[in-house]
Each structure stands twice: as C-alpha cells, then as structure tokens.
Amino acid sequence: MKVESVDMFYLAMPDVYDIGDGSQDMLLVRVRAGDHTGWGECEASPLPSIASLVCPMSHSACHPVLDSVLGARLDGPGDIGRIVRAVRANSLDLLQAEHTISGIEIALWDLMGKALEQPVYELLGYERSHPKTPYASSLFGDTPEETLHKARAVRSMGYRAAKFGWGPFGRTTVAADADQVQAAREGLGPEGVLLVDAGTVWGEDVEAAALRLPALEDAGVLWLEEPFNSGALGAYRALADRCDRLRLAGGEGAHNPLLAEHLIDFGGIGFAQIDTGRIGGIGDATRVAKYAQAREVQFVNHTFTSHLALSASLQPFAGSGDDWICEYPVEAKPLAQDLTRNHLTLDESGCVAAPEAPGLGMTLDLDAVRPYLLDVDITVGGKTLYSTPDLTT
C-alpha cells in the first residue's frame, strides 16, 4: 500500500494558561493507507508543525515534510524507518520537521499494526509487554509542610513512585532544598521511589547543583532530573562523576536519537527520558532504548498528554523488563482525557503496560474532541496551502 493522506488537526482547550501543563493543546495526526487509518500525536507547537508539513520548498534540503511521506510505499514496518530517514534528509534544514515527523511516524505504526493485526510492540520485535511502575508527578509545595502533605496524598492514592520538582527548588538556599527533599521522603515513606526534577534551574552551574547532592543522597532519591540546560553535556558529566547512589536523568528535549545518545555517552545520565512525540517517533525511541540498555542506562518515557501518546511512548521499551518505571499523566486536561474511549488503567498490582490490541490499541472518540478543534488556514502567494480537513473518519 501507499500513504494516501496525512492530515493534521489543531485542538486546544478554550483557555490556555501560562503554566507548565503540556496537555492544554494537541496536534493530532491522521494517516491513511489501503483501507486503514492510523493516529498519532506530535508533542509540538501545532501551528509551526502544520506549517512545516505544507510549506513551499526552499531548496533540495529544505522540503516540506509532506513531500517525503505522501505517496510513500508502506508494505511493512521497515518502510516506516525509510520514510523518517527520507524526511530527515529532504527536510534537513527545516528544524521543526523532527517534531512534525514524530506524530506522523506514530500514526504510521498504529496503521501498520492495524493492517497486520498486531500490537506495535510485537512489530518492534518484542515478545511481550512488561508492566511498568508508574510515577506520579507533582510540583514541590511552597513550603516543606505543603510538600509533606502532597507526598502523603500521592502515597495514599496508591503510587509507589513520585516525582517532585520545580516550585522553589534550587532557587533559594541549600538548606531550604534539603528540607523540601526530606519532607517529600517523609510523606512518601521509606519504601517509596522518590524522584526530583530540577527543571534546568542551575543552567550550566555544576557547583550550585553539587551543593544539593548530600541531601538528595541522604533521602535516597533515585534520580535528579534536568539539573542543567538540555545539551550541557560537560556539566552533566561533571555532576554525574560526583554522585554516589543518585543517578542523573534527562533527554526529554531530544529531537533525534543522537542527542539522547550524547547524554548517555558524554553526559553520564543513568535514566534516558524520551518523548516519542518529539524524538522522531517510536522507531527512534526504540533505538535509544536499546542503546541505553547496552550501556546499563534505563529508558523512561516522557509523557504528559493523552493515552494515545502514552501508548506510543510505552511501545519502545515495552519488551524490556529491566526498564521498570514509567511516567504516567495524572492531571491531564479534559482534551487529553477525552481523546480516547479506552485508557491505560493500572492493573491490580498498580502497574501499566502497552496494550495488547492491534496498533497502538486505542479507540479515538472524535465526537468528544471535535469541540476543541481550531480551524487553521494558511495561504502563501494567493494559494491555500492548508485548511483544516474534516475530522470525521
């Protein structure tokens, strides 16, 4: 079969706030080939991504993404990687293209799985889908007391792992940060898996980060996430060398697999956090999962939106029992929750796994999300390049 259509839909909550919640809008991708339809989601700014799909060609290495996808042969899983490589070559100088192809690639896997009646993880060569322990993400409270209450609440909800981050952490004194971390540990209990997200607060300042290591080590924190700007490999490496049991985590911003591999090779991270909707899709995320595993680094998904995105993000490490922890969106906006009729709920042991149904295993509820659809029109030189297509399947 051949790729017959690639459609993108910009959906958003009625009000989008200036807060760190990435589930307030969505770029949904629909791909059709043969008699099949696949769905994916870009973890990306919708309008520039749509523009990168349909923009006029600038030169031979700056084609619109659509040029390398529409009409492409799609007879087996291997064709999906070939399409991504074509986009990377033909859109080399179009920076946004790596975010854009991510959602398309995910939709191609969904379609291929439906066509072959197999879950995506099987198409990736995995024998089974190992359940993962989900962690709950929270902001640090404004005070240690508030953090204590938040951690107790997370524990009472049944989560065995929790991440605290942002808020005042890293912004005042070393002692204040130690109190926050200790409060989180106390609230979560001695057995809980505690993760801390510094949200790049220290820029490239290794010494500022190193001052916090004793408190993090004392509290038995499993990972310290994004102490530095993404890409500050030298700072990551220097801090990693000063850790005892604590490991560094990072990689959510990686928009191709090499960037994630550099964080492993040169940054010394212990956990590679990959967003399948940004890195180039499921294939590139799987490449990183295997690269990490060969180097005793754990792969973890980065997911903050819908359960369609969650399913896509679980596939790349579904088959690895060693990679046991996963990010699980707990406070997504109604748009993200309403996108799918089914959801990846926790099993009786509190774990979550990539589904067994063909493709990504998710059933979309288009009627539910249609009210969130934003009409987009783009014209260049009098020619309409994009006009929001019909969302009806």
Residue ranges in contact with its own copies by CB under 8 A: 10, 12, 16-22, 24-25, 43-52, 54-63, 92-96, 98-99, 229, 231-234, 253, 255-256, 258-259, 262, 265-266, 374-382, 385
Cβ at position 227, least distance to its own copies in Å: 15
Q: Is 182 helix (H, G, I), strand (E, B) or coil?
A: helix
Separation in Å, CA 91 to CA 57, 94, 96, 103: 9, 5, 9, 16
* Cβ-count burial 58-75 (b if 16+ within 10 Å, e if not): eeeeebbbbbbbeebebe
Q: State in angstroms the smallest separation of the CB of 282 from its own copies.
A: 19
Residue 53 C-beta: closest distance to its own copies, Å: 9
Comparing CB distances to its own copies, the nearer of 94 and 308 is 94
CB of 16 to its own copies, least distance (A): 6
Quote the least distance from Cβ 66 to its own copies, whole Å.
12
> Among residues 188 and 369, whose Cβ is nearest to its own copies?
369
Q: How many CB atoms lie within 10 A of CB 17?
A: 9
Token pair listed for 349: 């042991």
Residue number, 305 or 311, with CB nearest to its own copies? 305
Nearer to its own copies, 94 or 162 (CB): 94
User: Shortest approach of its own copies to residue 317 CB, angstroms?
Assistant: 22
Beta pairing class for 25-33 and 36-42? antiparallel
C-alpha to C-alpha distance for 223 and 211, rounded to whole angstroms: 16
In the complex with its own copies, which residue's Cβ is closer, 27 or 148? Answer: 27
CA distance 249 to 139: 17
- Which of 175, 97, 122, 135 lies closest to 355 in space, CA to CA? 122
| Cβ closest to its own copies, residue 16 vs residue 157 | 16
Which residue from 101, 38, 88, 25 is spatially nearest to 376, judged by alpha carbons?
25
From 197, 222, 206, 186, select the one nearest 325 (Cα to Cα): 222
